[in-house]
Amino acid sequence: MRKTRPMFRAIREQIETIFREDPAAKSALEIVLCYPGFHAILLHRFAHKLYRAGVPLLPRLISQIGRFTTGIEIHPGARIGRRFFIDHGMGVVIGETTEIGDDVLLYQGVTLGGTGKEKGKRHPTLGNHVVVGTGAKVLGNIRIGDGVKVGAGSVVIHPVPDHSTVVGIPGRVVRSRGSEETLEHGNLPDPEGQALDELSRRVSDLEAQLKLLADERMSERRG
């Protein structure tokens, strides 16, 4: 009985997390039956315990069953904190030496992966209250700080300081604010676009100066 209570508490906490993060969730029954992220994390918790106990093969088999049924691949060696939520989840991949803190949110298509065939710690570490947007890739043995927001489609290969927003390929820190900031995918800074706009403005200024200089020389010749 003592062993089952923590398990039920964890399930209840996971359901409460989904209600908090997903306004589309209508009931606990709907979450239990229809949320692949919920299924994937429960399977992972079980597989991770077996992995830590040194049970051969079975943890990987459970991981593959989870991948087949949910579209989410979590290596049983990954360490995942409390109140973790994968929204929709199709195509999410989490590598063996990944470490994830508490209250982390991943959207579909996210990869927490490695960068090669190196040994040891080769996957990222995510702090608490991290949000990783749709299709983003966080690669290598890097730390993503507490409260970090990773924009959709970003490729992050360098460490990110606490309470930052990172976007682009490769990922660049574009904001450093408090953790209460939400990740608005439709209102993210665009460093490349801003650089192109600045370049276009400077070209226009140079063209105007050249035109003015040409007009002055033409006036001198006529005079």
Say what the pLDDT of residue 204 is: 81
Q: Phi/psi of residue 106, each to 5°? A: -115, 140
**If we measure between CA atoms, which residue out of 43, 115, 128, 118 comes closest to residue 78?**
43
Alpha carbons 206 and 189: distance in angstroms, whole number: 27
Alpha carbons 158 and 68: distance in angstroms, whole number: 31
Alpha carbons 90 and 67: distance in angstroms, whole number: 9
**CA torsion angle 28 78 60 29 (round to 10):** 0
Say what the pLDDT of residue 53 is: 95
Say what the pLDDT of residue 179 is: 44
Say what the pLDDT of residue 188 is: 62
Contact 80, 106 (CB under 8 A): no
Average predicted confidence (pLDDT) for the chain: 86
pTM for this predicted structure: 0.78
198 CB burial (10 A radius; 0-12, 13-18, 19+): exposed
Residue 218 is encoded by which pair of tokens?
A: 């033409």
Contact 95, 116 (CB under 8 A): no
The low-confidence residues of the chain, meaning pLDDT below 50, are: 1, 179-180
Say what the pLDDT of residue 186 is: 56
Say what the pLDDT of residue 1 is: 44
